[in-house]
Structure 1
Amino acid sequence: MHSSISRSLLLAATAPVVFGQNITVDNTTVEATSDNVATAAEGVSTTSNSTASYFSSESAQLTDSVIANLTGLNLTGIDLFGFDTTENSAAAKRGVGSICKHMPGDLLYPNWIIWKVFDLLLGGALMQPVPLAAPCYNDHPEETDAWLCSYITANWENNSYIHSDDPTSIMWPLYEGRTCMPTDYPTDSCTQGAYPEYVVNASTVAQIQLAVNFARNANLRLVVKNTGHDFNGKSAGAGALSIWTHNLKSVEFYEDLEFGGYAGPAFKLGTGVQADELYEAANKYGYTAIGGEGRSVGVSGGFLLGGGHSPMSSMYGMAADHVLSMEVVTPSGEFVTASETSSPDLFWALRGGGGGTYGVVTSVLVKVFPKTEVATMTFSFSTGTNVSADAFWAGVRAYFGYIIEYVDAGCYEYFSLVQTGADSYYFGMAPWWAPNMTIAELKELVAPWFADLEAVGITVEPEYQYFTDFYDAWYAIFPLETAGTTVMKTASRLWPKSSWDDATSLNATFEAIRETVELGGSVLAFNIQGVGKAIPDYPDTSISPHWRETCLHAILAAFWDEDSTDEEIAEVSRTLTEDWMGIWRNASVGAGSYMSEGDVDEPDFQDSFYGDSYERLYELKQKIDPWMLMYTPTGVGSEDWYVTDQIDYLTTQNGRLCKA
C-alpha cells in the first residue's frame, strides 16, 4: 500500500460546504439541518445480477420511494434530484435544451439554498475544494502555509499519490489551464481554472445517483475523477460538479466464481481501487491480476474503461478483456448491472469506450490468473567516445527487427529514445518484462540482438532479476510514476504488425521514429500486443480494433520552457500534432492511437481512438445519454460540443461547455 501525508492536512481547505442557515419547509422558514433533511438513500438487497453481491456502498441506493418522500417535503429545488421521468420537468425548466451548460454566476445556476439541500441529501459529502497548491498563495481561503507549500512543491512531479488523493488535482495540469501551480511567489493569484466547483466525495451509490440527477436536471457540467491519470484532462471542467470515486476501495475475492461461461477465481473491485492495492490483494491469494504499470493508476476507473494495457498484455491481452460484469450509474440516474446477459450493449461499450462517457462505474468483477514467474532486465546505451550516432541508430534498428518475435514470446519492453545533445542520443530499457521465463531463457531470447549490438560496437551490461511471482517483480522493477509536469505534451501511435511485413515498411517505421527524435522529440514506447499469447481468443468489446493489430505503442513528447507564453506552447503543440505526428501517421496509414495516452488534438480522433467501433458507440451514446451529461474531451460524442475561450492547439477545460 502507498503512504502519503495525512489527508486531513492536504484537504484542510476542502471541508464540507458551509452555507446560509434557512430553507423552506411547508411554506415555513426553518433552519436546514439533518433533522429535517435526511440523507437520501434506502438500503436494498445485496443481490446483484452479476452473482457477486453488492458492496455495502452499493446497497445504499436512491430509489423511487426515496424520491417520492423528498418531493413531499416541499423543499426548495427538490425537483432537481429526481430521476428522468415525464413528470419531472426540472430539466426543461433549468434549460437542459440551452446551448451551454450553466456556470457559477448564471441566472439559472443553482443558488446556495439548493446546494445546501444537496449537501444534506448527500449526508454531508459535498466539498467545495480549492486547488492542491493553494497553500502556496496569499489568497488561499485559509492562510498561506509555507511548510505545506514546500511539501506539495517537492512532491508535485515525483509523487503521483498527492494528485490521486486530492479531490480535484490531475496528473497533467496543462489541461486544467496550468492554474494555481506550486510557486515561490505567494503574491501571485491562485485561480480555480478548470478545477471543478463542487465535488461529491462518493461513498455510496445513492450519492452518485443524486449527483447525476442534479447535474442533469440543473444543466450542469458533470465530470468524474478517480485518480486523474488521463492524459487529456477528462477529470477537469470549469464550473463543473465532480463525482470523486477514489474512496470506493472495497475488494472481495471469489475462489470459485461461476458466472456465464466462466468458472474460476475472480475479484470484485470498487472503482477506487488502485494498481498497488489490486496487486497486493491478488498476491495475498496467490494470483496474478491484470492492471496498469503505474502504481497509483485507478484500475477499475478510466484504465479499464479505455481498454487498459498492462505488463501482462502480450501474455493475456487487454485488461478489459477479463471483465465479467460492472455495476454502473447511468446518465439517467439508474443503477444497473452490465454484463453479457444484463444490459449487454452497455457492457460492450464500457469495455473500451472510454471513461466518463456511459456512466459512473462503482465496481467491476474481473478474472485473475495463476501465479506467474517473471524475468526482468534493465540496461541502456548511448552515443559517446566509442559509439557514433550512426552506430547508435544501427543498434536501435537491430532491435526493431526483433519486435514481433519478442511480443509473440509474451514479452513487454518499456523503453525510451531521447536526444541528449547535438548528434547525441540515449536508449534506455527500463524494464524488459518476460513473464513465464527464467533468466536463462530471457538471455537466450535476446542473444541475437545483443550480438548485433556488439557488431556495431555497442556493449551493454544488463541487470537481470528473477521473481517467482508477478507482485514482487512489478513492485521491484517499476518506480512510482512522475506526474504534474507543465512543460510537456504527448501524442501516441499504435504501430501495427503490418508495419513489419517487409523490409520496406519496417525501414519506414524506424526512420519515422528516428526522424522525430532527431527533431527534438522524446519517445517512450511499449513493445506490446493487444492479443495475448496465452489467450488468443478475445471477447467482443469496444476496445479499439487498432489494439488487436498492435506490436508497438509509442508515445512522442514535445517540450517548452517553463516561462513560455500560451502562444509559444500552442506552437509547440501544433508542431507535435501536425508535423511530428504527421510523420508517424504517414508511415502507418490506417493505424490508430491509445485514447488514454493520446493527443487531445488528435486529428480524426473517432477513428484513431475507437476504430470501426465508433459508429456503434456513438449511436449507443445518443440512446443512453441524450442530454450529453457525460462529456469528456475526445470522448464519444464530444465532437458535438466545444469548450469556449480556447487557443488552437492549447486545448484546456478552462472554459464554458457549449453545443457545437
Structure 2
Amino acid sequence: MTSLSVRFGLALLHSTLILSIFGVIGINTVSMSDLESIITSHGGQVLRITDVGYPKAATLWNAAIQVWPSLIIRPATYDDVALALSTLYSLNVPIRIMGGRHSYGGYCSHRGVVLDSTLLKKLEIDWESETITMQAGLIWSEVYAALNGSEYAIIGGLCPTVGVVGYTSAGGYNSLYSRSYGLGSDNVLSFKVATYNGTIVTASSTSNPDLYWALRGGGGGNFGYVLEMIHKIHRINQTNLPTGQHSFLSITWSNRNDFRAVLRNWLKFVDEVANFDTRIGFDVIIFTNSENSFLLIYGSFNGPHADLESIFQPWLSKGPKPDIYTVKNFTQFEVITVTGTANYPFPVKERQHIVSAMAINITEAMLDVLLESQPNTTFQISQYIGVIYLHDTNKDKNTAWAFPDITFDIAPGFVWYTSEDDSTAINIAESWLKRLMNAAAPTESIVGGYLNYIDPYMDNWQQMYYREHWDRLREIKTVWDPTWYFRFPQGIPPNNP
C-alpha cells in the first residue's frame, strides 16, 4: 500500500471515529431561536435585512460582488461560536465564515447564514516573548495601531482593512518585511480553531501538526473557524535611527519612454544583488495612460542607512534618472499612511477585479504585456500593474504555502464604476492575464496564482493555488471536515465528499 493510501485510510478511520463518537454522545445544540437568544445575551448580534446595522455588516469590499445573507450571526465568545457551529451543523444549515470581507470572489458571504467574526477583537502583546495574540475579528490597522510607537513590526497586509485570519491562512506576503521575516503564515506559532461540530482545538507544531501545516497557506475557511492566532513580532532597533533600522524608499519615473529601461535595470539589480540580500524588498506599480503614466517603486531596506546608499546607488545611477527619490525611516503604521492605503474607504465605490501570476522570472515578452497601454474602452476603467518582489520569502519550508520558488507576484488591479460594465471589465482583466500567461509559456515562467487574490474565473485553480500540496490538503480536509461542511467555490473538498 502506498503512503498516500495509508494516510487516506487513516484519515477515513479518524473521521469515522469522530462521527461515531458524536453520534453516541451527542453534540451540544439548541434550537435556532434559543441560539439567537444566547448569542445576543452574551453580547453578540443577530442581524437580518430589516435591521439597522445589516447593510454595513453585509457589504463586501469589492463593490462588483454583493450578496445579501438571510442571517448574519456575530458571536462575542468562543463558546458561542462553538454552539453556533454545532447547532447549524446538526440542522444541516450551510454557512460561510466572514472576517475582513475582502474576499475578491465574495466567498465569505452567501444567501444563507453567515458567521461573522467582527466582535472577536481581543489583542494581547507579550513583549517578553515577542508574540502577539490576535482574535479573528481584528483587521490589520488595529494591529498596527497597537504596535505603533514600539520598535516592533509584524507580517501583515499593506491594505489595513484586510482581516488578519484570511490574509495569514493564504500565506500572507508583505513586500516590505517578508524577505527579512518570511510570510504571515511562517510567523504563526499556534491557532485556536472551532471545528464543524463545535469542538475547539489547538493547532501548532506539537498539537495537531497536520492541521497546523494546512492552516499555514491552505486558505481561510477550509478546515474550520479560526478563533485566534499567536504570531511572532520582530524588533527593529539595531541602529540609532529614530524608528529603528528599517528604511522606506519611494522612487518614481513619469516618462513612459523610460519604463522598459527602468524595469530592465531593476530586474538586473534584483538578479545580481537583491536576490542575495534578504534585507531588500520591493513593490512596483505600473500605470500607463496617454495623459498620465508613472512607474513607482516602493523599496524597503532592513539595515543601516549607510549600507543602503552603497547598495542602491549603483543601480539608480545607471539611469534613467527618477523624477522622485526619497528615503525615510517610518514605523509600519506610518508606511501605510505614506502608501495611501490608510485612506482606503470601506466599502470602496470602485468595482474591482484582481488577477495574479506567481512568476519565477520576468522575460522580455512578459514586459511587453506589463507595459501595454490602458484598455481602450467606451467606459472608464483603470489598470494598475503591481509587481511584488518575493524571492526567498518562505523561511519555513514545512507549510502549505506552495510557492517557495517564485520571485514575483504579478498582480494587476482593474477598477471600474458601473454594474453595466462588469462583464466587459472582467473579460478585459482575464484576457490580460491570458496574454501574460501566453507570453510566459515558452519559458514556463508563471507557475501559479496567489490565493488571497482569489479569481473565480481561474482555470485549473487546484494546481494554480496549491500545486503539489493539493492531495495532502484533501487528506487533512477529510480528517477535520469529513462531511464538507466548510464549503465554498474553489474550496478544498474532502476525499469522500
The TM-score with structure 1 as length reference comes to 0.63
Partner of 2:82, secondary structure, is: helix
- 1:289 aligned to 2:154? yes
SS at match of 1:253: strand
Q: 1:487 aligns with which of 341, 346, 351?
A: 351
TM score, norm. by length of structure 2: 0.82
* C-alpha displacement of 1:550: 2.2
- Quote the offset at 1:316 in angstroms: 0.9
1:416 corresponds, among 285, 288, 301, to 285
Q: CA shift at 1:616, angstroms?
A: 0.3
Task: Choose the corresponding residue for 1:527, options 389, 393, 406.
Answer: 389
Paired residue type of 2:418: E
Per the alignment, residue 219 of structure 1 pairs with: 92
One-letter amino acid of the structure 2 residue matched with residue 612 of structure 1:
E
1:175 paired with 2:94, answer: no
Q: What does residue range 41-120 of structure 1 map to in structure 2 within 5 Å?
A: 85-87=22-24, 114-120=31-37
Distance in structure 1 (CA, Å) of the matches to 2:75 and 2:201 = 17
1:352 and 1:380 map into 2 onto residues whose CA distance is 33
Q: Distance in 1 between matches of 2:78 and 2:202?
A: 13
| SS of 2:301 mapped into structure 1 | strand
CA contact (8 A) 1:416 1:523 kept: yes
Which residue number in structure 2 is paired with residue 444 of structure 1? 310
Distance 1:470 1:558, change over 3 A: closer
Distance in 1 separating the partners of 2:429 and 2:368: 22
Separation of aligned partners in 2, 1:471 and 1:128: 33
Over 3 Å counting, the alpha-carbon distance change for 1:611 and 1:516 in structure 2 is farther
Task: Supply the distance in 2 between the matched residues of 1:516 and 1:524 (Cα, whole angstroms).
Answer: 15
The CA distance in 1 between the partners of 2:145 and 2:421, in whole Å, is: 44
Query: Cα offset for 1:494?
Result: 1.5
Residue 198 of structure 1: CA displacement?
1.1
Residue 398 of structure 2 is matched in structure 1 by 540
**1:265-344 paired onto structure 2 within 5 Å:** 265-283=130-148, 286-299=151-164, 301-310=165-174, 311-344=176-209
Q: Deviations over 1:87-138 (max 9, x none)?
A: 4899xxxxxxxxxxxxxxxxxxxxxx953222123244342243xxxxxxxx
1:632–1:331 CA distance, 2 compared to 1 (3 A): same
Partner of 2:107: 234
Cα 1:460/1:195, change in 2 over 3 Å:
same
Given the alignment of the two structures, is residue 603 of structure 1 paired with residue 449 of structure 2, yes or no? no
8 Å contact from structure 1 (residues 275, 298) kept in 2: yes
Q: In structure 1, the residue corresponding to 2:33 is in which secondary structure? A: helix
Secondary structure of the structure 1 residue equivalent to 2:317: helix
Contact 1:221–1:237 (CA under 8 A) maintained in structure 2: no
Letter paired with 1:451: S
Q: Do residues 400 (structure 1) and 267 (structure 2) align?
A: yes
For the pair shown, the structure with the greater C-alpha radius of gyration is: 1
Indicate the residue corresponding to 2:405 in structure 1. 549
Could you say which residue in structure 2 is the equivalent of 1:250? 122
> What 5-or-longer segments of structure 2 have no aligned partner?
1-18, 237-243, 377-381
Rate the CA distance shift 1:596–1:326 in 2: closer, same or farther, 3 A: same
Distance in 2 between residues matched to 1:402 and 1:249, nearest whole Å = 42
Equivalent position to 1:507, from 354, 359, 364: 364
CA drift of 1:294 comes to 1.9
Aligned residues, how many? 459
Contact 2:358 2:446 in 1 (8 A): no
Residues 529 and 215 (structure 1 numbering): CA distance in 2 closer, same or farther, change over 3 Å?
A: farther
Which has the bigger relative contact order, CA under 8 A and spacing at least 6? 2
Q: Any unmatched runs of 5+ in structure 1?
A: 1-81, 91-112, 131-139, 143-147, 149-161, 177-193, 257-263, 384-388, 501-505, 641-658
1:407 Cα deviation after fit: 5.0
Alignment correspondent of 2:9:
none
Deviation at 1:195, TM superposition (A): 2.5
